[in-house]
Amino acid sequence: MSAKDKYNQPDARGYFGDFGGQFIPETLMPAVQELSEAFDKFVGDPEFMEEFDKDLAHYVGRPSPLYHAERWSRMLGGAQVYLKREDLNHTGAHKINHAVGQILLAKRMGKTRIIAETGAGQHGVATATVCARLGLECVVYMGAKDVERQAANVYRMKLLGAKVVPVTSGSQTLKDSINATLRDWVTNVDNTFYLLGTVCGPHPYPKMVRTFQSIIGREARRQILDQTGKLPDALVACVGGGSNAMGLFSEFIDDKGVKIYGVEAGGLGVESGRHAARFSDGRKGVLQGNRTHIMCDDAGQIIESHSVSAGLDYPGVGPEHALLHEIGRAEYPYATDDEALQAFHDLTLYEGIIPALESSHALAYVTKLAPTMNPDQSIIVNLSGRGDKDMHTVAAIDGMTL
């Protein structure tokens, strides 16, 4: 069995090594089991996968380009940097990939009501978009703080016909929106499909979301071979829950010569306690349906996370990432808010590409990594989303009013 086969497939209980599982209320178990059986059935159905691939091509706009950022590479010195342009997808981020896949699955399961959580708003927009296309009821739960800092995406969701529900409990961010969505699902399991937005949650979500996102890695592998004739020396992606990163990483896990870096949100610095660096300052525990690395105190209570980017402001991480960290196949450094903001400005100025603040964390780590490498080496960075949604946040930090 290859490393990819071994580490990319959870066991029958939904565990990647010691991480994953189904830590959910008994009332949700039938719904999760129904979902798991449907996913296993349809992901092996050529007709289903043909419809998925067709939608990715003709609705999402895939394949997304792999762009050689030549000017930025020269500025950094060292390795050549290639950007996987998920920001060019319909709706502006990678989230549309798994939204399409899960909606097609919901349709085959006969579900007529779609619920979702969102942090930065990109998953909510993607969900609302595909629901509008198919005429499905859509309810999106969003932390009240995120509603404020992502007002443009809230308006987009409403334009698309979704009901956006602000969540005022807890830290009023992504963690709390997931809790609210789970509570909704418990009481509406018969007609409702929970379209989870990352590789977290109870099995089969980590496997399912990664499967739909693996199109990123499959395309990137073909594209870098076409452009350079060899595999990349390194992959870099930001990691909140971790869907964009697993989408890229999953197709290179067998390739031991390819180093893998998942960049967490360092916030105001790990020493400040105001961050979302689960691997740097967290511990193993259970959160929202799965066992993974989380931010918690000695009693196991969740500690509030922080990031300038709403999509990385989450105290847990996908269980497959937890396994890759434990076995040493991937490294998980962090970038602070200030470092991400500098990378945001740098890519905009040097390449004319405005990245999402989430993606800017990955770019920030590249500014450290690339100079340590040779000019004949290459790095693929997953540019997971575009920065339109972050204009008000960055402008406010820069002392400007829009």
Which residues have a catalytic role annotated?
95, 117, 384
Written as one letter, the residue type at 224 is I
Q: Which residues pair with 379 in a beta bridge?
A: 81, 234
Nearest to 308 by CA among 117, 173, 164: 173
Sign of CA dihedral 208, 213, 214, 215: positive
Element (H, E) at 362: helix 357-369
Provide the token pair at 394: 């960055």
Separation between Cα atoms, residue 257 and residue 230, nearest integer Å: 11
CA distance 307 to 337: 7
For the beta sheet containing 80-85, the strands, ordered from the edge strand earlier in sequence to the opposite edge, are: 66-68, 80-85, 378-383, 234-238, 259-267, 334-336
CB atoms < 10 A from the CB of 337, how many? Answer: 23
Q: What is the CA radius of gyration of the chain?
A: 19
Q: Is 15 within 8 Å of 284 (Cβ atoms)?
A: no
User: What is the strand order of the sheet 163-167 is part of?
Assistant: 163-167, 137-143, 113-118, 192-194
CA dihedral in degrees (196, 52, 239, 229; nearest 10)? Answer: 170
Report the DSSP pairing between strands 234-238 and 378-383: parallel
CA 253, CA 7: separation in Å to the nearest integer? 8
**244/362 Cα distance (integer angstroms):** 11
